[in-house]
Amino acid sequence: MVASMKTFDGKVALVTGAAGGLGSAICDALAANGATVAMADRSDAEFRGAPDRVFPGDLSEPGYSDGLPKAVADRLGRLDILVNNAGLMRRGAITEASDEDLRLSMAINVEAPFRLCRAAIPIMAAAGGGAIVNVASCWGVHPGPGHLIYCMSKAALASMTQCLGRDHAHQGIRVNAVCPNEMNTAMLKTGFERRGFDPEKAIEDLNATVPLGHIAEPDEIADVVVFLASDAARYLCGTLVEANGGKPVG
């Protein structure tokens, strides 16, 4: 994790998917650097210690996504950083995909970030600027096999990042994305279990395919998010940062 530097003293950050492995690491890293972190997830069960900073809801519900940035700004006084971290993965070829796979993937991976950015940008612009960090994927930049809907949705998020970065830089709002490859999270392990693999053995095999020696740990990706949200990345906008340990997609 990035060392505590109080980089974000006085700033408020909103993180979606905050209860997951990467979401929790992002919240911890931002807080360690001085931010007040608003945590959004489907359930508040993981955040009993900070009820004033929890905003539970379903990102597939337009009203929730549309109203979330204002709700955070109203309760916590401002909104300086938005991290669109929530996401889901549906595997398989197009002939195996259901309408629900498509609907839910696009709702969470594309529509929710669209709505959150649309609502957050005016708030940030009125305050003189801000930073938005989207969690896209290497698989959205270099599509891989057997993940059509996931690749398609993350490609849309990557394109959204590039467009917004250009469109809103003049307002002092920097929009960038981190694009991880495989990451050691519960979601990855659950996916292996559903397909009948031993998750620990499967991760060990994955580690052997990465030039740096292991798939990403959540805190390694969280550090990139902190960098992109900070003034250290002040000249980056519309940038897609691939954090893959040197491993290509496929």
The pLDDT of residue 43 is 77
* Region(s) of the chain under CATH 3.40.50.720: 12-181+217-243
Interval 11-31: pLDDT, tens: 999 999 999 999 999 999 999
CB count in 10 Å sphere of residue 126: 12
Strand order in the sheet with 36-40: 36-40, 12-16, 81-84, 130-135, 173-180, 240-243
The pLDDT of residue 49 is 67
Phi, psi torsion values for 86, nearest 5 degrees: -60, 140
Strand, coil or helix: 8: coil
pLDDT over 90 for what percent of the chain? 84
Interval 50-105: pLDDT, tens: 888 999 999 999 999 999 999 999 999 999 999 999 999 998 999 999 999 999 99
Handedness of CA 32, 131, 126, 116 (dihedral sign): negative
pTM, rounded to two decimals: 0.94
**Fold exhibited by the domain 12-181+217-243:** Rossmann fold (3.40.50)
Interval 163-212: pLDDT, tens: 999 999 999 999 999 999 999 988 788 878 888 888 889 999 999 999 99
**Catalytic-residue membership of 150:** yes
Provide the pLDDT confidence category of residue 48 given band limits of 50, 70 and 90: low
pLDDT over 70 for what percent of the chain? 96
The pLDDT of residue 1 is 46
Phi-psi region of 196 (alpha: psi -120 to 50; beta: other; left: phi over 0): left
The pLDDT of residue 3 is 47
Say how far apart CA 151 and CA 206 lie, in whole Å.
19
From 8, 47, 55, 150, active-site residue: 150
